[in-house]
Amino acid sequence: MNNIIDLTQVTHLRDRIPLSLCRELCDQILATQRVTATVPRSNPGCWRGPCSLSPEQDQIMTDLVTAAANEYILSLPLPQELNRAPMTASQWQYNLWANVNKPGSWNIPHQHGLSMITLVLYLQSTDTGLIRFHPTNFLMKQYQKNWPYNGDWCVDPKDGDMVIFPSYLLHTVEPNPHHSKDRICIAVNAELV
């Protein structure tokens, strides 16, 4: 795979989600948002809540996420005892939710703790801000200025993109600079079972 930044272990996959599915899921998420309160401890201006999928959408999402997770995991240097063959959907356990960031809202620095990998599926994100990653060596000031990726770095996702990274990696979703468009995405924490 040629789009992995090996030293950062972040993968940005372009155009992985069909735009028709993006629009369909955005409509559903916004409808859910209108009748569902945000989960506690959400960032100001950000709605975080359930992502209710039809059985057909659930299967499409499972297939998309499983393929991307396998592509990511198999591209990394892994311990020999970990299976190098692609995993089936039944070998992955997913926890997913929807995020809607209104114009001007953002997500504070955070990580996804105990999961193995995190995937973000960008449904409506073009021109709505960056996701910024903060590697530990930079935060601890343990880097050499001539190293590649010696600071934090950003991904500018577009509609239909996916970003995959290890769940422990600290990241921030920068303020949505668009004056009238929400940033809508689905976040997924994935574990091998």
Question: Can you give the CATH number for the domain in which 45 is found?
Answer: 2.60.120.620
Contact 94, 190 (CB under 8 A): yes
DSSP 172: E
pLDDT band at 175 (very low <50, low <70, confident <90, very high): very high
Q: How many domains does the chain have?
A: 1
pLDDT of 162 higher than 80: yes
Pull the structure tokens for residue 84: 């190098």
State which residues form the domain around 55.
4-74+89-192
**Angle at CA 97, nearest 5°, toward 95 and 101?**
150
User: Please, what is the angle between helix 19-35 and helix 55-75, to 10°?
Assistant: 120
102-to-30, 79, 96, 192 alpha-carbon distances in Å:
12, 42, 20, 33
Q: Is residue 83 part of a domain?
A: no
Give the pLDDT score at 85: 73
Name which of 20, 10, 5, 3 is nearest 171 in CA terms. 10
0.85 surpassed by pTM: yes
Mean pLDDT of 169-183: 94
Q: Is residue 79 part of a domain?
A: no
Q: How far apart are CA 53 and CA 33, in angstroms?
A: 14
Q: For residue range 44-100, what is the model confidence (pLDDT) as tens digits?
A: 889 999 988 899 999 999 999 999 998 888 877 766 666 667 788 888 899 999 999
Q: How far apart are CA 110 and CA 120, in angstroms?
A: 14
Residue carrying the six token digits 């063959």: 85
Q: Among 52-66, 70-84, 136-150, 154-168, whose mean pLDDT is lowest? A: 136-150
Distance of CA 113 to the CA centre of its chain: 14
Q: How far apart are CA 34 and CA 182, in angstroms?
A: 14
Q: Is residue 82 part of a domain?
A: no
Contact 109, 143 (CB under 8 A): no
Give the pLDDT score at 44: 86
Alpha helices in the chain (DSSP H): 19-35, 55-75, 136-139
Contact 137, 159 (CB under 8 A): no
In this structure, the strands spanning 131-134 and 170-173 are: antiparallel
Give the pLDDT score at 1: 42
